[in-house]
Amino acid sequence: MRIEEMEIGREKEALAFLERDPVRNLRVIWALSRWGLFDLGLPEQGKYLVARSRGSIRGILLLNNQGMMRVVGRGDAARALAECALSSWGMPQVLAGPEEEVLELLAGVDELARAVEHREEEVSLALSARDFIPCWGRARIAWENDIDHLAVLEGMLQEELLGSIAEAWVIRSQMRRSLEDGTAALVVLDGRPAAKAQIEAATPLVDELGGVYTVPELRRRGFAAAACTLVCRASLQRDKTVRLETQRGNEAAIALYERLGFKILWPHLAVRFEPS
């Protein structure tokens, strides 16, 4: 098996491999199809490795500029990709993926297993048009002049989930992208932002719902469900599947998504490593 950095011009071949499972590989498909192999330093861009055997792709690894590593592949291919990434680029900040695949990789690469600092247990869910149960309410598609509202809510979301907030320019660039794509929904009450939801990654077959947040004092009033309804409906009308990840212990969020028709796919795991 040969491991090498992916060459510019081989994106189409890599996407054909990834799109064998467009739901599971959504994030890598999105990054590669949106940005290609050029790296200008944006958070979602990064470095790619490819594993080949007898001329065919056996696996792909992405390490983005936020330090998150995703590996598409199993067994020897996944281990070889991870070991090459560690040798070339050092320890990632996070390894994310379906729990079975992440645990298999930790068991096969001692250097990763020894450096585990924290495990974030999540679950992946998916929504198809036939299962969709819309929940209408006060949400509307966000406009360009809503960027400040969206940025405020995103900052509150990050503080609540992560205990820290990304730099303002990173948050605003993410919100602006959603605004430009028309894939963010917002609830505003008395001139103040109350809730939001957005499509964080879009591919030809699958979109990822994310950034779902309601300010604490306004929860359980259907605002998040209404925002999710708007953005999911737009994706489903294009014959796409909508996928998301949420914390396994967040029973309220899981119940919200199941009311909209989401079905649980598999346990997801994000492993954070000690700084090297």
**What would the mean pLDDT of 242-257 be, rounded to a whole number?**
96
- DSSP secondary structure string for all residues of 225-269: HHHHHHHHHHHHTTT-EEEEEEETT-HHHHHHHHHTT-EEEEEEE
What pLDDT, on the 0 to 100 scale, is given for residue 109? 97
- Looking at residue 61, its pLDDT comes to 98
pLDDT confidence of residue 83: 98
Q: Which of 68, 54, 64, 72 is nearest to 15 (CA)?
A: 72
Other CB atoms within 10 A of residue 2 CB: 11
One fold for both 2-114 and 126-265? yes
Handedness of CA 253, 255, 256, 261 (dihedral sign): positive
Domain 2-114, architecture per CATH: 3-Layer(aba) Sandwich (3.40)
DSSP-derived secondary structure letter, 203: -
Split at pLDDT 50, 70, 90, the class of 38 is: confident
pTM assigned to the model: 0.93
Calculate mean pLDDT across residues 101-118.
Answer: 97
Q: Is the pLDDT of residue 41 over 90?
A: no
List the beta bridge partners of residue 128: none
> What's the mean per-residue pLDDT of the chain?
95
Question: Could you state, in order of their start, the residue ranges of all structural domains in the chain?
Answer: 2-114, 126-265
pLDDT band at 163, cuts 50/70/90? confident
In 3D space, the residue among 21, 14, 79, 12 whose CA is nearest the CA of residue 50 turns out to be: 14
| Residue 224: Cβ-neighbour burial (10 angstroms; 0-12, 13-18, 19+) | buried
Helices vs. strands in the chain: H and E counts, helices first: 9, 12
Alpha helices in the chain (DSSP H): 11-18, 26-35, 75-89, 99-108, 110-114, 147-162, 168-181, 223-236, 251-259
Q: Tell me the sheet residues that pair with 118.
A: 272
* CATH superfamily for domain 126-265: Gcn5-related N-acetyltransferase (GNAT) (3.40.630.30)
Reduce the DSSP state of residue 201 to 3 states and report it: strand
On the question of pLDDT at 84 being above 80, the answer is: yes
How many other CB atoms are there within 10 angstroms of residue 61's CB atom?
Answer: 28
